[in-house]
Amino acid sequence: MDLLQLQGKNIVVMGVANERSIAWGIAQQLFEVGANVIFTYRKERSKGKIEKMLEKLDRQNVAIVECDVNSDESIATAFQQIGEQFQVIHGIVHSVAFAHAEDLKNRFVETTRDGYAFAQDTSAYSLIAVSKAAKPFMTEGGSIVTMSYLGAERVLDGYNVMGVAKAALEASMRYLAADLGAENIRVNAISAGAIRTLAAKGVPSFNQILHKIEETAPLKRNTNQAEVADMTMVMLSHLSRGVTGETIYIDCGYNIMG
């Protein structure tokens, strides 16, 4: 029985930089269930990596489209291209975030106006911009899933301006869910535990964070790419058809601890 009902569905996966990317874990699961994955990338380097990774999986003819979420023009062009090629978009994985390194390293009080705006633009506003561009092609309803982190609601060492961006991302997710629900488009966030990826390299004291989670989380370990991918599959699928506007924690229970 096809519980997920993702076979043949067109799912846009944004944010694969390399094999460690959370989005890559999700893409691999989507391939397994027969979805059509459409990748977007910002840097040519990421495009090259995606091509090589697809080669390893022996997958040819997969769409890889440029999309810089800091540019309205780039987003519009990307989704126009995807819409023309696939007609309908059934799902989007928004797995994109960025902040300037100095805004993570410096004291929070030193956050610059530019650094704040840049983190918000890339990591929170981009969800709204992408939803707007994709909506004309989400004519059969669908599911949008974004990646958040506990720093949205708690002060976590070294997360600083990105924590504020994730708070805005989660609030934007809820407003989008309320707005797009009438079109049967669901919008949810996965709050993933700490995973060693390229983005995580920018967070100072990441090793200490991993150790603390191991000691404190109810499951006494850290989560991983595959576990986050599994729950993202659920949130993209028929199984979660009654869920929208939620933040789902995949963090071995760490968020419940005092």
Catalytic residue list? 149, 159
223 near ligand NAD (CB under 6 A): no
186 near ligand NAD (CB under 6 A): no
Is residue 188 within 8 A of residue 244, CB to CB? The reply is yes
57 near ligand NAD (CB under 6 A): no
CA distance 111 to 33: 43
Query: Cβ closer to ligand NAD: 4 or 69?
Result: 69
Contacting residue, 98, 108, 116, 125, with ligand NAD by CB under 6 A:
98
35 near ligand NAD (CB under 6 A): no
Query: Cβ closer to ligand NAD: 170 or 185?
Result: 170
Look up tokens 């983005």; give the residue: 199
213 near ligand NAD (CB under 6 A): no
Q: How far is the CB of 62 from ligand NAD (least distance, A)?
A: 16
| Cα distances (Å, whole numbers) of residue 18 to 104, 129, 133, 180 | 22, 24, 25, 31
Residue 93: closest CA among 6, 13, 8: 13
At 89 the three-state DSSP class reads coil
Q: Which residues pair with 148 in a beta bridge?
A: 191
CA distance 11 to 37: 5
Q: How far is the CB of 2 from ligand NAD (least distance, A)?
A: 28
Helix (H) or strand (E) holding 71: none
Please identify, among the stretches 2-10, 92-100, 112-120, 178-186, the one whose residues bind ligand NAD according to the rule CB under 6 A.
92-100
Q: How far is the CB of 192 from ligand NAD (least distance, A)?
A: 4
Contacting residue, 12, 13, 16, 119, with ligand NAD by CB under 6 A:
16
131 near ligand NAD (CB under 6 A): no
- Structure-token pair, residue 239: 């199984």
Residue 144 backbone dihedrals phi, psi, to 5 degrees? -115, 130
Query: Cβ closer to ligand NAD: 23 or 144?
Result: 23
Query: Cβ closer to ligand NAD: 25 or 83?
Result: 25
Q: How many helices (H) and strands (E) does the chain have?
A: 10, 7
At 96 the three-state DSSP class reads coil
246 near ligand NAD (CB under 6 A): no
Which residues lie near ligand NAD (CB under 6 A)?
A: 15-17, 21-23, 42, 46, 67-70, 95-98, 122, 147-149, 192, 194-195, 197-200
